[in-house]
Amino acid sequence: DAKTTQPNSMESNEEEPVHLPCNHSTISGTDYIHWYRQLPSQGPEYVIHGLTSNVNNRMASLAIAEDRKSSTLILHRATLRDAAVYYCILRDRTIGNTGKLIFGQGTTLQVKP
């Protein structure tokens, strides 16, 4: 499985935007880029995913570099509830492959009031 690299931790102020980076220089053409997050004492939850184009949903935006070797998860206005560990994961879309979720260490986001 292709590897991702994320900073161990980041801090943000409440109500400010947060940009969480992820490097995936060995990404293949068949990999989707997924983001999950894990709130304290909870199971992981899906945030967003994309393949080549930038994506938006009600939770966040995903900006994907043109060469796909990096991506950025954008939280437009951080709240205290967004404090969590954020995981950037590559999932292989080769036909017949379920693209199992392999978690790295993620980025621990702290949000200060």
Partner 1 sequence: DAGVIQSPRHEVTEMGQEVTLRCKPISGHDYLFWYRQTMMRGLELLIYFNNNVPIDDSGMPEDRFSAKMPNASFSTLKIQPSEPRDSAVYFCASQPIGGPNTEAFFGQGTRLTVV
List interacting residues with partner 1 (CB under 8 A). 31-32, 34, 42-46, 49, 87, 91-93, 97-106
If the CB atoms of residues 14 and 102 are measured against partner 1, the closer one turns out to be 102
Which positions ≥6 away from 78 have C-beta within 8 Å? 12, 13, 14, 15, 16, 17, 18, 109, 111
Q: Do you know the residue count of the chain?
A: 113
As measured in angstroms, the least distance from the Cβ of 33 to partner 1 is: 10
As measured in angstroms, the least distance from the Cβ of 97 to partner 1 is: 6
If the CB atoms of residues 7 and 104 are measured against partner 1, the closer one turns out to be 104
Q: How far apart are CA 108 and CA 101, in angstroms?
A: 19
